[in-house]
Chains A and B, each alone.
Chain A
């Protein structure tokens, strides 16, 4: 699969959590609640923002609508969405290691 990562990454914090929460198919409100709990309250996504994100991510082919009951649309991650999320996680892991290293050396210097 040919994916233009430069165009899609980095994901915003909200978009990142939308993709990460869609490891199971969810409709909008369930996803809002899941993101809030999995981010330990750090990320709260408003309905307007989420609705816009659904539209954008669907257009980009990262998520797809799997069902629609009454007026509730349920979305799931596509294989492309999974690859984009994986690449973002790989980059974030490097960032986290670098940050932790910087903080640990700073700590040692301060202690010395």
Chain B
């Protein structure tokens, strides 16, 4: 069965939904159709006929939200897969039209706000833990190398989350901009 599915590793930042959409479309044009993706950025594709499919990512809209899924299906969309709150929808390109799920600034802003809330919530427990840890006693409990590695992991984690959160805030500003004119 190895020739039927292909697994690839490709990393994307949390704010890179458009980059993911473009990459998934390029893969579909090569005949690789998204089956699933896991949180560690391993993408599984099924090999088939090349097709021009537009992929769009939605964040939020829980699985319990049947009305939304029905509306998407009515409009011709197929849910390829779901991963940590992301929904990967696809639709065939017809008459050169590249459909969007969100067509105005306000609803795009809401999508990014849902994602931003999750980013902040996921970082919060670790952040509080770091703040409340008695740092004075750490050197006596941990050796220097493990202390350096541990701090490195935490600093790296917060830097990544902070960077993505900042880029998301910029996307929110850009989505809002046209309406303020």
Contacts and interface: CB of A to CB of B under 8 A. Distances in A.
Main secondary structure of the interface of B (DSSP, over half): helix
* A: interface residue count bin: 20 to 34
Interface in A61-98: 70-73
A48 B61 CA distance: 9
Given A29-B75, A32-B75, A52-B110, A46 B70 contact: no
* B: interface residue count bin: 20 to 34
B71 A49 contact: no
A40 B117 CA distance: 38
B75, B102, B104 — most chain A CB neighbours (10 Å)? B104
Interface in A33-55: 44-53
A49 B107 contact: yes
B106 A51 contact: no
B119 interface: no
Contacts of A105: none
A109 to B, nearest CB: 27
Given A52-B110, A71-B66, A71-B67, A46 B101 contact: yes
B122 to A, nearest CB: 23
B111 A48 contact: yes
Contacts of B111: 48
B19 interface: no
Interface of A: 12, 14, 27-29, 32, 44-53, 70-73
